[in-house]
Structure 1
Amino acid sequence: MDEAEAKRRLVDDKVDRISNLPESSLCKILLNLPTKVVVKTSLLSSSWRNLWKCVPRLDLASSHHFKENHSIFVTFVDRFLGFNSDFCLESFKLRYGDEKRERDFHLLIRWFNTVFKLNVKHVDFTDCSSRRGAFLIPQTIYTCEKLVSLKLCMVTMPCLKFVSLPLLRSIILALVKFVDNSDLETLISGCVSLELQVSY
């Protein structure tokens, strides 16, 4: 190998091939990372600075986000949902609250209503506060027509009047209360795409 060829290969090795990918491909890659990591990619270069805003996935599964800088965290979530207001939200994952802080039900209701309006596909929510089951999920959950999977833990479901969840294939409900005992049966019968999974 001559010197010119060696220099060319050295330059090729230093090329940032990932940053040269189309924005849509980069967003698909970032979809597989937690939101905290995705936001950190904005420090990589100027071309990555605003890319995290286009990733349609909000993964805030660790409740420690709420223990410090609560107002900053709330502002971040509001801004993120605002950035994605023109898109279909792929996933919303949240562990909310702790035993020391009172929950802001109005805040949660606002976030859920926004997420459902964004035609979210996957929802995973756990109420981590001491008063388990006190949070009543908004009624709009029953008409989220793009929803594919739903995982809820330690919440109360609203009174069921109408169900339109044509794409919902997976439901996981842990320590979930229903206002009316017949609502669970009505919910399941209204999910025409539901897939039965049996685990041993």
Structure 2
Amino acid sequence: MSNETDAITATDPMALFDEWFALAKAREPNDPEAVAVATASPDGWPSVRMVLMKDHGVHLGDGAGFVFYTNSHSRKGGELLANPKAAMLFHWKSLRRQIRIEGAVERVSDEMADAYFASRSRDSQLGAHASQQSQPLSSRGQFIADIARVTARHLIGTVPRPPHWTGFCLSAHAIEFWMDRPFRLHERRRFERAPDGGWSSSLLYP
């Protein structure tokens, strides 16, 4: 467990995120970059799923952003395009720490999406072409057959990025850090971005 000498006293939430994320990469046994992303439809129906953060500290919108990639025809892709706001939650159970992030979302550039797609394994690239993400699937065998057809079309040469496969960047306007304390007397500090780009912060009751 954490002790009181670990108190959250930082004034820059992005620097603090870097510190906690580095610790998670060193200690979390599985996928320290895994993050829950919550979206909502235009009429307010929420949904949440796990994705992998692929970059952070990226400036596309008004603030420092957190980037992940997906099929824009998926449920989350459609909701992000229709209602470009989202929330994230990192939960590192081995560290007993969490980070919540809220903000506006925008699509990354084609150049940025191309560069990341090119860095993926060939099998992952082929899977991105074969998967009609979030659409009904008759059987697992159908998916395997779809992958086989895509593979046959791309036996040689590079696999191009599908135009519907892209990245989204959440530009944080609020970041909250949560640290486990004994007897459930946890520590929470919330940062909110000011109009001038700076940050204000305050402790919250657990």
TM-score (normalised: structure 1):
0.26
TM-score (normalised: structure 2):
0.26
Higher strand share: 2
Higher helix share: 1
| Larger RCO (CA under 8 A, 6+ residues apart) | 2
